[in-house]
Amino acid sequence: LSPYRHPVPLQDVTRAMHILRYNADNWNINPDRIGVMGFSAGGHLAATLSTHYDRGNTNAADPVERVSSRPDFTILVYPVVSMMAGTTHSGSCENLLGTTPPDELRHLLSNELHVTADTPPAFITHSTTDSAVPVANSRLLRDAMKANYVPVEYFELTSGDHGLGCGAGMEWATWQDECARWLKANHLAK
């Protein structure tokens, strides 16, 4: 994020996905099981890649750029999804877009507005008591995915503040167990 505002974070994660997929054989990675995961503002970046990926440029001089940056799945934990006023996390929005972003930019980076039938399947978790990022972010993305018939697992916790204990506690263990179950059920993990 700040001082590197949009589009730099998206360019970085897009390039990372290109590099992973391009080197999949060398690194013993299944190129059809590469996901993206993000928490909070990082969740926004992961959701942005999942809704704004490229298919690769077959004419690119750099062979890394010829492969797709589309994730095969997405995991979002208490994510910022929308940049729309009233839903977004204002600090994340300001860090990414500046203090007075134009409406067109808010719209472009409100990921719930860019879900298509080709958006990767997702596991999303959020707590209803999150006092930093409104749970509406996750619900909007879940609803957009369902409306476009994209597989989505939404696991809503009834307690736990933003961060869900950051690696400790019942909420943290619970969402991880559900995510592991989802990955196995969808043959995304062994």
- For the chain, give the secondary structure using H, E and C: CCCCCCCHHHHHHHHHHHHHHHCCCCCCCCCCCCEEEEECHHHHHHHHHHHHCCCCCCCCCCHHHHCCCCCCEEEEECCCCCCCCCCCCHHHHHHHHCCCCCHHHHHHCCHHHCCCCCCCCEEEEEECCCCCCCCHHHHHHHHHHHHCCCCEEEEEECCCCCCCCCCCCHHHHHHHHHHHHHHHHCCCCC
Q: What is the pLDDT along the chain (190 residues), one digit of tens a residue?
A: 568 899 999 999 999 999 999 999 999 999 999 999 999 999 999 999 999 999 999 999 999 999 999 999 999 999 999 999 999 999 999 999 999 999 999 999 999 999 999 999 999 999 999 999 999 999 999 999 999 999 999 999 999 889 887 877 788 889 999 999 999 999 987 6
pTM confidence score: 0.96
